[in-house]
Structure 1
Amino acid sequence: MDWHTLGSTPFLPPLYWRAALKRKITGSTLPEQGLRCRVRINPNDVAAYRKVCGFADSPILPATYPHILAFGLQMQLLTAKDFPFPLLGLVHLSNRIRIHRPLGGVSELTIGVQACNLQPHSKGATFDLLTTAEDSLGLLWEAESRMLCRGVKLEGEALDNPLPTPTQVSELTRWKAPADIGRRYARVSGDYNPIHLSALTAKLFGFPQAIAHGLWNKAHTLAALGEHLPAANIELHVEFNKPVRLPSEVTLYCSAPGSSGELLLKGTGDLQHMVGKWQPIA
């Protein structure tokens, strides 16, 4: 992997233009370049994020927060000329976070992003968007988001290995996903994908109404689990199934507190929105 280090996080508006203008698949290989940047953590931004995602105040950063720090780098990577797939239309299938040490006392991180692991899929092709966060001691946090691009033709067998639906889980809590949560989450995350903002903009992309961001669903779930989970040496893996249409109410089911367990996020009429598990890092 060839790394390009940026002096500051990318300015988002031009990247949105680039994303809006690119509608065609232009290749079937991923670029061999990753992006890196040092990022300062702004306590006011973290506080605003906590409020939108339901996290209690804490000296420990929310487990999903480094994704927010990485968003500009991810946008720059995924809208670059040599990136083969259009950003609008990518489907976020799953997200796996590994927290190596507690995310406390952190004021500055080096964030890295890269795309790798291009694989055939029954509906096109998937790739992993890898994100890392390092502090002065080394690797602190890492994540992989599996993205689907429909309509890509690749040689080889499609390997789909979904997480089984958890059975040993009980209801923990429920919450409402209000009609404006896509806009509120966009303001704290920078992710203004039209499918999340309003019914009007979602209809342009074939959705009858706006849907919640997958990472908002995951963040709100981790906020609800709170002390249920270890603060470090933990891998948190979720798969996004049916989208959460806005507005709606969801119910979180999970296993007992401990170093490993399972979770399930359901909507009305038994709709399965998200399945997940947590365990120590292998």
Structure 2
Amino acid sequence: MAVEELTEVPRLGPLYRGAGLTAARHRILGGGGAPDTLPETELRVREVAVDRAHLARYDRVCGFRLSDELPATYPHVLAFPLAVALMARPDFPLGLVGLVHVANRIEVRRPLTAADRFELRVRAEDLRPHERGRQVDLVAEALVDGEIAWTGRSVYLRREKRSGSGGGDRTGPPGGGDRRADRTAPPDASAFWRVTPRVGTDYADVSGDHNPIHTSRIGARLLGFATPIAHGMWSKARCLAALEGRLPRTYGVDVSFKLPVPLPSTVAFSATRSGVEDWRFALHGAKSGKPHLSGEVIHRP
């Protein structure tokens, strides 16, 4: 795999604008000629420092205590621009506009702090078919002193009409979740959270992910939603914040994003121990019981 070293983490604004122009051009001229394989390229940036003021803003938006120790989800924000830069390349087979984040796995191999300096690496893996289109994994790593301290694997779905599908990809949960989950009784709630439209705009500001589906009623409606929806990674972070102080020192945390969280809405958070240091947790609609997220924390010695 070729390595492309960048001098700094790229800015998201120009990447999104370029991806939007490419998508518009494909709609007008047709999308033929897109590659069928992933780019054999890994993007890297060295000496990435944490801005403590930015970390404090992130902590507040997601519900973490203010601390120099990084939440498990914070390196995802640091590495996200590299993932977008890779997905916005002309040799990436799936258009960036319209990709849906359906699952995320994080491994914390050692606690990280704001004093650490990171080397960030991002690559794409495992382009594969899905019943509603195609999926791909974006793998991010944060290294400290040459050793991998944190990894994140985000699964993205590109919904595509496939022969014989009859357009059925529009009937299920937009996040790509299991349709059967709607019929499962939700667990008892540990807490209820009111999720306001400000969650969308505040998380967009702190993460740089200004996709209008999260911040604009018009943008959300253009993509098939009645209201803006919360970022999936905000939902994951908020759940981990609710478990703060009860998580192992090193662990993996997996989530599947089900139905999106509408803004505004009230959600029910539930968490139960599944081992000495392990947890299962979920988010559901407080009234409807519809699933938004399910996840688990597993201790990694």
| TM superposition score normalised by structure 1 | 0.91
1:135-214 alignment, distance < 5 Å: 135-136=144-145, 138-151=147-160, 170-214=188-232
Which stretches of structure 1, 4 residues or more, deviate above 6 A after TM superposition? 164-168
Task: Give the counterpart letter for 1:16 in structure 2.
Answer: Y
Instruction: Give the aligned partner of residue 237 of structure 1.
Output: 254
Instruction: Give the aligned partner of residue 270 of structure 1.
Output: 289
> Which structure 2 segments of 5+ residues have no match?
164-175
Query: Partners in 1 of 2:254 and 2:12 — Cα distance?
Result: 28
Instruction: Give the aligned partner of residue 36 of structure 1.
Output: 44
Q: Is the deviation greater in 25-34 or in 182-191? A: 25-34
Distance verdict in 2 for CA 1:259–1:137, change over 3 Å = farther
Task: Give the counterpart letter for 1:17 in structure 2.
Answer: R
1:229-267: CA deviation from partner (whole Å, max 9, x where unpaired): 1131x1100000000000011111111384222111111
Q: What SS does structure 2 have at the residue aligned with 1:201?
A: helix
Distance verdict in 2 for CA 1:28–1:153, change over 3 Å = farther
Q: Are the counterparts in 2 of residues 170 and 255 from structure 1 also a CA contact under 8 Å?
A: no
> Which structure 1 segments of 5+ residues have no match?
155-159
Q: Are the counterparts in 2 of residues 169 and 263 from structure 1 also a CA contact under 8 Å?
A: no
Instruction: Give the aligned partner of residue 250 of structure 1.
Output: 267
Query: Partners in 2 of 1:99 and 1:59 — Cα distance?
Result: 16
Q: Say how many residue pairs are matched.
A: 275
1:112-127 alignment, distance < 5 Å: 112-127=121-136
Query: Partners in 1 of 2:14 and 2:114 — Cα distance?
Result: 33
Query: Partners in 2 of 1:248 and 1:8 — Cα distance?
Result: 38
| TM superposition score normalised by structure 2 | 0.85
- Deviation of residue 179 (structure 1)? 1.2
1:16-55 alignment, distance < 5 Å: 16-23=16-23, 24=26, 26-38=34-46, 39-55=48-64
Coordinate RMSD, CA, aligned = 2.3
1:141-176: CA deviation from partner (whole Å, max 9, x where unpaired): 00100000122769xxxxx996x9799964322211
